[in-house]
Amino acid sequence: MAALSLDLEFQAGQGITALFGTAGAGKTLVLDAIAGFARPDTGRIMLDDRILFDAASRVHLKPQRRNCGYVLQNDKLFPHLTIRENLVFAADRLPRLERHRRVNETLERFQLAAAAGRRPQEASRSEKARCSLARGLICSPRALLLDAPFEGLDAPSRNEIQQLVRSARGDFQIPILLATHHLEECCQLADRMLLLHDGRIAQSGRPREVLEQPASVEVARLLGIANLFQAEITALDPGRNTSRLRFQEYELTGTYFPGHLRGDRVWLCVRAADLRATGRNGARPEANQVPVKLLRVSDMPQAVQLEFSGDITVEVPSQEFEREKDNKEWVVEFPPAALRVL
Amino acid sequence: MTSSWFPLWLSLRVAVLATLVSVPCGLGIAWVLANREFRGKELVDAVVALPLLLPPTVLGYYLLVVLGASSPLGYLYEALFGRPLLFTWQAAVVASAFYATPLLTRSARAAFETAGPAYEKAARSLGASEWRVFWRVTLPLSRRAIGAASLVAFARALGEFGVTLLIAGNLPGKTQTAVVGIYDAIQRGETRVARIFVAALSGVALAIAYAANRLGRRAVAE
């Protein structure tokens, strides 16, 4: 980790901000810096109007004084304490009666009453994840930091915990920062996402917008967009909102690409689910269709992923593939609205 | 007969007290080594381990110099308790503690460094003071490892010979521990006394080794 250097600037408002990046991109380091466990070389970290860290004036509040709920990777519940004692430990700074009330309330709210007397190693994964979240929130922190909180959970438990995070967003009205390397989590939960790549924020915005319009090839790769091709813009017509692209030896029609010039060499970026693959059956390819050979078929939960010659990947719904699977010759259609250039 | 049991009784008393002294010292040093970064940290670690590596006579010589009546420490002790420290059974406690502390420090540091950090981080983020983190998280999480290390330290204190002989001497009924007693008995040809002490010390060592192993295994399993 010594070689990791980060240089970022961002603001996270109320709601859930996802910090998205591959393993080793520095997500945990960002959370650690906010929580007070890592000391940046320069810069400033503020929470509301409080300075948590300022390199210039040598302010570096201890983690204890930052009042950030920090849910660490793999829950990190104290193994020698029961679920209830874990919460009592976190609520220690409250007066005794208030603490008692708050712990009971939290146990109810996070559906942990039945497991209260169990040690973490006797509790289910879901109970541990719930307790870890509850422990981070019990003292009403000013911000909540979640480090891959859904890792290792099965789908039902994951949904359950995600629901709790959503309701925490509504109830606590604090910034929630979620470090994750799962795109689905960003889309399902986050109001905003920050893409961490190469030590900086490569792109930020609403998850849907980021997915629709990646800012660069790196971002597109990070988002798992399978189809990235080099292409050349051969025509642009703002009046009719059209453009033409040369891709391999084919001409494709797209919408108008503002900010580009004719002759620009660009990256053509199309999501696998936006392409359509159909049988060719001897017919000549129509406009925006490219004849291809099917190389590999792999099953996904609700779709089938088809890999064609020319590194083209298409996702089609399983039923649609059932109808088409006997085709010998294929064409892939590039719908104009699906074409993005980077 | 009472007097012939005295060395064993003294040994146990010395070893218990030496362990009681070395546990807080060892835990304190181990905590600093595991949690604080400072220049010369590894040197401190090496110095702490030194008693395990130095020949007993060399360590004994140092202690004779440092604790002698003419040294500041020896003078202070005499001013406080009205008699010199050297050649009393209390000196045997010091000698044994010097051997027990490094063992404890090593084990406790390893336990603090493996069991602790992630949970300590969680505790600190929850607002717990360093003191509370240590008592409520670090110590409970490494209690079995420390228990096992204390047992081994006790056994080591029980078996201390060279330094004890040098700074506490071999005064029967006063400073003669069982280990020194065995040496003395063999010198005088009293093999029966030697056999009793040998059997007793072997039994204690075996029991401790067994208990420490079990504790250590449970510490790993946690």
**Whether residue A179 is found in the same domain as residue A40:** yes
A90 contacts chain B (CB < 8 A): yes
User: Is A289 a domain residue?
Assistant: yes
| Nearest chain B Cα distance for residue A121, angstroms | 10
How do beta strands A276-279 and A175-180 pair? unpaired
How do beta strands A143-147 and A68-71 pair? parallel
| Nearest chain B Cα distance for residue A127, angstroms | 18
Domain tally for chain A?
Answer: 2
User: Is A279 a domain residue?
Assistant: yes
Range of the domain at B191: 2-221
A1 contacts chain B (CB < 8 A): no
**Whether residue A213 is found in the same domain as residue A276:** no
A134 to chain B: closest CA residue? B126
**Whether residue A295 is found in the same domain as residue A159:** no
pLDDT for the residue A247: 84
A286 contacts chain B (CB < 8 A): no
Considering only residues 91 to 130 of chain A, which have any Cβ-Cβ distance to chain B shorter than 8 Å? 92-93
pLDDT for the residue A292: 87
> pTM of the prediction?
0.78
A225 contacts chain B (CB < 8 A): no
A85 contacts chain B (CB < 8 A): no
- Residues from chain B that touch A67, judged by Cβ atoms under 8 A, are 127
B139 to chain A: closest CA residue? A80
pLDDT for the residue B136: 92
Q: What proportion of chain B, given as a percentage, has pLDDT over 70?
A: 97
User: Is A8 a domain residue?
Assistant: no
Where residue A276 sits, what CATH number does that domain have? 2.40.50.100
User: Is A236 a domain residue?
Assistant: yes
Query: Which residues share a beta bridge with A265?
Result: A232
**A227-245 pLDDT tens trace:** 888 899 998 888 988 899 9
pLDDT for the residue B2: 44
- Residues from chain A that touch B115, judged by Cβ atoms under 8 A, are none
Which of A193, A217, A241 corresponds to the end of one domain? Answer: A217
| Nearest chain B Cα distance for residue A142, angstroms | 12
CB burial readout A275-284, b (16+ within 10 A) else e:
bbbeebeeee
CA dist A99 to A87, A94, A108, Å? 9, 5, 14
Does residue A36 come out as left (phi exceeding 0), alpha (psi in the -120 to 50 range) or beta? left
- Residues from chain A that touch B218, judged by Cβ atoms under 8 A, are none
| Cβ separation B124–A64 shorter than 8 A | yes
**What kind and span of H or E run contains A245?**
strand A242-247
Where residue B212 sits, what CATH number does that domain have? 1.10.3720.10
Average pLDDT over residues B158-173: 84
A134 contacts chain B (CB < 8 A): no
Range of the domain at A242: 225-341
Which of A217, A235, A256 corresponds to the end of one domain? Answer: A217
Where residue A136 sits, what CATH number does that domain have? 3.40.50.300
**Whether residue A230 is found in the same domain as residue A263:** yes
User: Is A1 a domain residue?
Assistant: no
Which of A189, A217, A245 corresponds to the end of one domain? Answer: A217
| Nearest chain A Cα distance for residue B155, angstroms | 28
pLDDT bin (cut points 50, 70, 90) of residue B222 is low
Please identify every stretch of chain A with a pLDDT value under 50, giving residue numbers as ranges: 1-2
- Can you tell me the distance from the alpha carbon of B177 to that of B164, in angstroms, rounded to the nearest whole number? 8
User: Is A195 a domain residue?
Assistant: yes
Task: Give Cα A13 to chain centroid, integer Å.
Answer: 17
- Can you tell me the distance from the alpha carbon of B74 to that of B84, in angstroms, rounded to the nearest whole number? 7
B140 contacts chain A (CB < 8 A): yes
pLDDT for the residue A117: 92
pLDDT for the residue B181: 87
- Can you tell me the distance from the alpha carbon of A122 to that of A178, in angstroms, rounded to the nearest whole number? 27
**What kind and span of H or E run contains B212?**
helix B191-221
pLDDT for the residue A57: 93
End-to-end CA distance of chain B: 47
**Whether residue A193 is found in the same domain as residue A251:** no
Lowest mean pLDDT, pick from A43-52, A278-287, B24-33, B83-92: A278-287
Residue A48 gets which letter from DSSP? T
Q: Does the structure show a pLDDT above 60 at B3?
A: no
User: Is A9 a domain residue?
Assistant: no
- Residues from chain B that touch A79, judged by Cβ atoms under 8 A, are 119, 141, 222
> Residue A70 in 3-state DSSP?
strand
